[in-house]
Structures are given as structure tokens and as C-alpha cells.
Structure 1
Amino acid sequence: MFVLELSCTAPLDGVDALMKDHVGWLDAQYAAGVFIASGRKNPRDGGVILAVGDDRAAIERLAAGDPFAVYGVCAYRITEFIATKTSDALAPYRQQ
């Protein structure tokens, strides 16, 4: 499992201008079964995405395709972790 932390590198008006494209990109990743949660940080200086997968390089390529990254308004920090304990709702994502 991966935690994708976004940090804004441009003013929020630049981020907001790309929000519709970013949300479309998010929706595609949810439909593909890669993302399981996402949202803004508080204060609003970026966001967080929880992603599932076994291939860090694939997650890095995916993040690089986010319109926020493509247009340089946000930067990604990706952390991989082994989800050995989860809520019952996330049981399908538990790892050994």
C-alpha cells in the first residue's frame, strides 16, 4: 500500500484551475481499483491519497500523470507501507 502526499508548489488559484482535470484523474484511478481514499490536507496546502499496489515504480508513473504534477502545481512524496492491520472494511487490502 502507498501513501501519496501532495504538497502545493504553486498558489492555490493555479491548483484550482486544474481541479476538474485532477478529479477526473482521481476518478479514473478509483475506477481502476488503485485508489481507496483521498482528500485535502487541513490546512489546504496539498492532499493525501491511499493507493494499493505492489509496484512502486507503477505508482510513481501514475502520480507523474496527475495534471497537478504534469503542470507543476503540486509535488508528490510517496511512502510505501505494509498494511498488516486494517478495519474490516479494508480487509481485502491487508498484507502479510
Structure 2
Amino acid sequence: MFVLELTYTAPLEAVDAFLPAHVEWLEKHYASGAFLASGRKIPRDGGVILAVGDDRAEIEKITATDPFVVAGVCAYRITEFIATKTAPELAAHRQQLPG
């Protein structure tokens, strides 16, 4: 599982210009099952996405296509973790510690 932390690198006016395209991109990845939750950080200097994928390279490929990244208005910090405990609704995403 991955925590994707977005940090805005441009003023909010520039970020907001790409928000509709970013939301469309989010919806695409929710539909594919890659994204589980997302939202703005408080204060509004970026956002957070909880994602699942086969490996870090796959997640890096997805984040590279975010319209915010393409426009140069945000940067990503990707943190991978092993989700050994989850809420019942996320049981399908529970992971085992390696051997």
C-alpha cells in the first residue's frame, strides 16, 4: 500500500486552474481500483492519496500522469508500507509481512 503526499509547488490560483483535470484523473484511478481515499491537506498546501498497486514503479508511473505534475504545480512524496491491519472494508488489501 502507498501513501501519496502531494505538495503544491505553485500558488493556489495555478493549482486551481488544473483542478478539474486532476479530479478527472483521480476518478479514473478510483475506477481502476488503484486509489482508496484522497483529499486536501489542512492547511491547503497539497493533498494525500491512499493507493494500492503491485509495486512502487507502477505507482510512480501513475503519479507522473497527474495533471498537477504535468503542469508543474505539485510534487509527490511516495511512502510504501505493509498494511498488516485494516478496517473491515479494506480487508482485501491486507498484506502479510515478508517471510
Partner residue of 1:25?
Answer: 25
After TM superposition, list the pairs within 5 Å mapping 1:39-50 onto structure 2: 39-50=39-50
- Give, as a single letter, the amino acid of the residue that structure 1 aligns with 2:57: A
Q: Which runs of 5+ in 2 are unaligned?
A: none
Residues of 1 paired with 2:80 and 2:55: CA distance? 10
Provide the residue aligned with 2:8 in structure 1.
8
Q: For the residues of structure 2 that align with 1:14 and 1:43, how far apart are their CA atoms?
A: 17
Matching residue's letter, 2:73: V
Task: Give the match's secondary structure for 2:14.
Answer: helix
Q: Distance in 2 between matches of 1:58 and 1:94?
A: 19
1:32: how far off? Answer: 0.4
What is the TM-score with the length of structure 2 in the denominator?
A: 0.96
- Paired position in structure 1 for 2:57: 57
Match of 1:92 in 2: 92
Give TM-score, length-normalised by structure 1: 0.99
- Code of the residue aligned with 1:93 in structure 2: it is H
- Aligned-residue offset at 1:13: 0.3
**Structure 1 outlier segments of 4+, above 3 Å:** none
Aligned identity (percent) is: 71
**Aligned mates of 2:38, 2:30 — CA distance in 1:** 10
User: RMSD over aligned Cα, in angstroms?
Assistant: 0.5
Structure 1 unaligned regions, length at least 5:
none
Cα drift, residue 53 of structure 1: 1.1
Number of equivalent positions: 96
